[in-house]
A and B are shown apart, each in its own frame.
Chain A
Amino acid sequence: MAKSEFWKKHENLYFALTNGKVIFGLIIFMSILALAIFGPMVAKYDYDEFAGPGYMPPSKDFWFGTTLMGKDVFTRVVFGLRSTFIVGFVGGTIATLVGLIIGFLAGYYSGKLADETLMMITNIFLVIPTLALLIILSAYLPYRGILSQSVIIGLTAWTWTARAVRSQTLSLKNQEFVNLSRISAAPVTKIIAEDIAANMFSYVFMVYIIQFTGTILAAVSLEFLGLGPTQGISLGLVMQNAVNWNAIQLGMWWWAIIPGLLLTILIVSLYFINTGLDEVFNPRLREM
């Protein structure tokens, strides 16, 4: 049977796709991703356009209601979601990659000068609160775009990944198959890529999910402080506007609460995927 052959080869994929938490999380994640991709296409208005009367609760014409000035909240939210996803993917990827590279190198050369230096840098960056660093960097940038925002968040978020990957590498590098590669004079990059990284795939994947959520949260906080991209719209900015215009006091829950609710649900879905994957990759947890 060709079909069962395939599942045998990709056992983890099978367990992942039959795990209730992973499915639940994936469905929500995909729905919100779809909202971010297709939402701006179906939106009837522009995000800065005065679409109708202000202070309108959700209705057939304005799905998430309107702001005090009459801008369409749905349009603003879906455009904001789009930039949230971009920041998450770009920033998360950078943070994971930098963390991996530093972690692999420090772990592989453990005890040597390279390791000591890299870990010293990591420990320093680990103590400095990321958001404080981001605030001071962003405050002095006169023009900020989504990409530059993602890059600076990614470049400040890698620290714990580096530490965790280093300790994982330490435990792997004295295994026999790594020693074998070393004796046969395989280049370091090859040993790291084929012997060490390949055995940490599941772990790296979960690290990526956590970095993705961390990046999103950092970005939203920055935007809420007014240090997001100087042009365009973001979820944090929508919420900042809502707070500034007293949306809460005026009872406009659709403006003040919906944008953050979507974001929170998105992050919850990622948590579910992560917990599910944990069960998939660690069979011991599966029975729980």
Chain B
Amino acid sequence: MKKYLGKKIFIYLITFFFAVTIDWAIPRFMPGDPVQMLLSRFQGMEGGREIIQAQITASFGLDRPLLEQYFNFWATLFKGDLGTSIYAFPKPVMSVINEAIIFDILLLVPSIILSWIVGNKLGAFSGVNKKADKYLMPVFYFLTSSPYFWFAVVVVFFLGVQLPWFPISNAYSATMRPAFNIDFILDFLHHWFLPFITLFLVQLGGWAIGMRNMIIYEMGSNYSKYMESLGAPEKLIRKYAFRNGVLPQVTGLAISLGNIIAGALTTQIVFSYPGLGFILLKAIQNQDYFLVQGCFLFIIVFVLLANFLVDIVYMLVDPRVRFSYSGEV
């Protein structure tokens, strides 16, 4: 067990190291002299030139040898210093991201977990029920083929504009102030629902297709046929097929995390939902390179942590992993 997690953590640490290195290398080795671009971006702002100059000597230190620049980059990173944002000048990048990330978590975590559960159930149902399968499969294909942001547009169009049931932008009404009372929470949920349902439905299709195929495969396997010949009830066989089918779905969750998060980024743009995606768009539009780089690092850390969680879950649901790494089998 320790060995299994240790191996995973090792991979994640290397990945993090690699991601930071990319973050460091890209502004330095890309064509088109981004540092010059950065300087010119700050020129118009009052006191901006001095701040950026200080920033560049601290985190870029371009006159130093490359290796030293690299170590300096790590040093500033560990101090939690990601530079100054241009878009939200003169706020540091770190605090801009900190304010946004809570909205990502509130959107991503429920949608991932719920759609995974519901998608698996629906897929299992579709796999054993041929009549329903005929109608459900095209729906699943359609859902999983939709680009997230396009589906968001469709959802807004029908549930926000044609039937004005839900607000179509922001995380809460402009008249509200974030507080922990019932009015605010209701208002928040009202705004939260459309982006949530977008993420939920698009992910659902993929899980359902995966589970449907797994169930058909497992129901045709030898153990299912053996149980059938023993006269086991259909329901019991299905239950075993489902439990076996769930395992690849857990692995699938780890693999698609990156895609889901990317989908959430574009979805937030449609809803002007103030999470990382919306910040990222503003950063790109304002050529706010420090903010883009900061978002990149946060997304990576987010994905790594989520992957780690999935690994732990996988270990809990699959006894084979548990035993094979502790040498019991």
Contacts and interface: CB of A to CB of B under 8 A. Distances in A.
Q: Do A and B share a complex? A: yes
Interface of A: 120, 123-124, 126-133, 135-137, 139-143, 160, 213, 217, 220-221, 224-227, 239, 242-243, 248-249, 251, 253, 256-257, 259-261, 263-264, 267-268, 271-272, 284, 288
A136 B293 contact: yes
B313 interface: no
B289 A140 contact: yes
Contacts of B62: none
B147 to A, nearest CB: 5
B280 A271 contact: no
A23 to B, nearest CB: 15
Given A124-B14, A268-B142, A256 B147 contact: no
A243 B15 contact: no
A137 B30 CA distance: 8
A248 B157 contact: yes
A224 B146 CA distance: 14
A271 B141 contact: yes
Contacts of A248: 153, 156-157, 160-161, 168
Interface stretch (B72-80, B114-122, B262-270, B316-324): B262-270
26 contacts: A127-B258, A129-B259, A129-B262, A130-B258, A130-B262, A132-B296, A132-B300, A135-B292, A136-B293, A140-B26, A140-B289, A141-B32, A221-B263, A225-B266, A226-B281, A239-B149, A239-B150, A248-B157, A256-B153, A260-B147, A260-B151, A260-B154, A263-B150, A264-B147, A267-B145, A288-B216
Contacts of A224: 147, 149, 266, 269
Interface residues of B, number: 61
A140 B34 contact: yes
Contact of A257 (B14, B157, B258, B262): B157
Contacts of B148: 221
A36 B57 CA distance: 50
A260 B150 contact: yes
Contacts of A253: 157
B110 interface: no
A81 to B, nearest CB: 14
B239 to A, nearest CB: 22
Given A128-B258, A221-B148, A268-B145, 20 more contacts: A120-B11, A120-B14, A127-B303, A129-B262, A131-B258, A132-B261, A132-B296, A135-B296, A136-B23, A142-B31, A224-B147, A226-B285, A239-B150, A248-B156, A251-B161, A251-B162, A257-B157, A259-B150, A263-B147, A271-B144
B284 interface: yes
Nearest to B287: A139
A51 to B, nearest CB: 23
Contacts of B109: none
Interface in B2-50: 11-12, 14-15, 18-19, 22-23, 26-27, 30-32, 34, 37
B304 interface: yes
Given A127-B303, A271-B141, A264 B296 contact: no
B220 A284 contact: yes
B225 to A, nearest CB: 13
Nearest to B298: A132
Nearest to A259: B150
B307 interface: yes
Contacts of B15: 123-124, 127-128
Contact of B153 (A123, A135, A260): A260
Contacts of A124: 11, 14-15, 18
A271 B281 CA distance: 31
